[in-house]
Amino acid sequence: MSQNVMIGILAMVIFLVVMFAGINIPFAMLFGGAIGIMLIKGPAVAGTMIASEFVNTFSSYSLTVGPMFGLMGYLASFTGIGEKLFNCLKTFLGHRRGGLASAVQVASAGFGAICGNPVACCATMTSVAYPEMRKSGYAPELAALCICGGGTLSVLIPPSNNFIIYGIATETSISQLFMAGILPGLVLTVVNIFTIAVIARRHPDWVSVGKRYSVKERLQSVKKGGIIEVAVVFVLAMGGMFAGFFTPTEAGAVGVFGMAVVAAFSRQLTLKKFLKALYSGVRLQVTIYLLLACANVLAKMFSVSTIPMKLGNWVAGLGLPHFLVMLVILLIYFVIGMFTDLNAMILVTIPMFFPIIVDYCGYSPLWFGIILTLMMSVGSMTPPVGTSVFFEKGFIQQYDPDVTVGRLFSCIWPWVSNRMVAIVVLILFPQIITWLPHVIYGAPL
């Protein structure tokens, strides 16, 4: 084992120790990466490389796609579109057993198409759907976790923030990633609805049957609801990008303008709400920029240590079937997701695993990005550090303070299992991911 590889491993251990000691993940990345580069290249070169990574990250034009779509999502969250979308869909689904929970899934998928942020989606759906579900007789665990499961649809349905981070980290086309996520997002929506049906059958006392609305009331809800607004903004921004009229960054700007116009015409947008959305969007993106900059420092350390190249050569020397190599890497991500935030760990591990999956195994970077993103949603729900569950607990605190995180985790397994089923389906039928990018952009199947 070469000296540089040993230093790289030492830097990785330092990063993990510092992270688990309680230091914020970006600063732990920066510390571990800086130590490794300094030991390999010397203090002067290390200082230059670290400064260069920060300057390049914070001045990158391609990164502005995040703030644009982030602001579009927060404008949608603060102007009541999520509420109107749920109220519209419940007129079509609410009369069925578990119908309100199913309406949450469809509404979350629609809201995710203009949001891309699972936390914002969960917060919005909790405020508009959770009180009504509890009033209708839904068990708090089912009400909370179906919102949690619906919110994580935003990681697959464009404009997903996770796709933006993955695309930038791997230099994969963000437009193609957005296109690749559409069908898997719909598949997971259907799987979520099926999961609700199974839970309702096994625990009929956890759900209820709501009011049946007339055809006239349903048509009025479509007119007043958020479906038209969501469709207009999605077609304007995403459709223009898919058609080649806009770059992803320009599509985000067009989406912000479209959302602002829709909100203004509906008289939902006030100066206070706009400033709140702007502040929330800036706060989120500053966090992402800092995470990316520090992850780039750690990735640079891996590069100069030659660990990715040596790891790839070692895996190739084992002669294992490509399918088995991919499953082992996914298992590693599943275990990692049980203990820490996968957004950060993906940025740490991509320099090591991406070349193995794409270059050695020959899998599509689009396919791997979707599978990895879906695995992230599993990690965000899995104890002991399931971030989505902890966020949802905070959102429902004002309604049901007695519902503990432990109670939610004890009921989370159907939602973890259904994502595993979705992953198996997408592994067995990869064309679900690659077909649309192939048809629109000519990407390999």
Q: What is the mean pLDDT of residues 200-208?
A: 89
**159 has a pLDDT exceeding 80:** yes
| 34 HSE (CA, 13 A, CB side) | 18
Which DSSP string corresponds to 30-62? HHHHHHHHHHHH-HHHHHHHHHHHHHHHHT-SG
Query: Is pLDDT above 90 for 139?
Result: yes
The per-residue pLDDT for 368 is: 93
Examine residue 41 and state whether it is found in any structural domain, yes or no: no
* Per-residue pLDDT band at 342 (split at 50, 70, 90): low
Distance between CA 388 and CA 343 in Å, rounded? 13
Residues 156 and 374 sit within 8 Å (Cβ to Cβ): yes
pLDDT band at 152 (very low <50, low <70, confident <90, very high): confident
- What percent of the chain is modeled with pLDDT above 90? 18
Domain carrying residue 252: 60-269+306-441
Cα angle 276, 282, 288; round to 5: 140
Q: Indicate whether 52 belongs to any domain.
A: no
pLDDT at 252: 85
- Report if residue 10 sits inside a domain: no
Rounded Cα gap, residues 146 and 150, in angstroms = 6
Q: What pLDDT is stored for residue 339 in this prediction?
A: 67
For residue 208, is it within any domain? yes
Report DSSP letters for 10-36, one per residue: HHHHHHHHHHHTT--HHHHHHHHHHHH
Whole-angstrom distance, CA of residue 164 vs CA of residue 1 = 36
Lowest mean pLDDT among 39-53, 178-192, 219-233: 219-233
How confident is residue 198, by pLDDT bands cut at 50, 70 and 90? Answer: very high
Give 70-88 pLDDT, tens digit per residue.
Answer: 788 788 777 778 888 888 8
Choose from 13-27, 143-157, 340-354 the range with maximum mean pLDDT. Answer: 143-157
pTM of the predicted structure, to 2 decimals? 0.86
DSSP state, 306?
Answer: T
Q: What is the mean pLDDT of the chain?
A: 85
Per-residue confidence (pLDDT) for residue 343, from 0 to 100: 67
- Residue 257 CB coordination number (10 Å): 15
Residue 276 lies in a domain: no
SS3 content of the chain, % helix, strand, coil (to 5): 80, 0, 20
Residue 212: Cβ-neighbour burial (10 angstroms; 0-12, 13-18, 19+):
exposed
Average pLDDT over residues 10-33: 84
Report yes or no on 387 lying in a domain: yes
What is the total count of domains within the chain?
1
How far apart are the C-alpha atoms of 336 and 410, rounded to whole Å? Answer: 20
pLDDT level of residue 1 (50, 70, 90 thresholds): low
Q: Is residue 39 part of a domain?
A: no
CA-derived radius of gyration, the chain: 22
In-domain check, residue 230 = yes
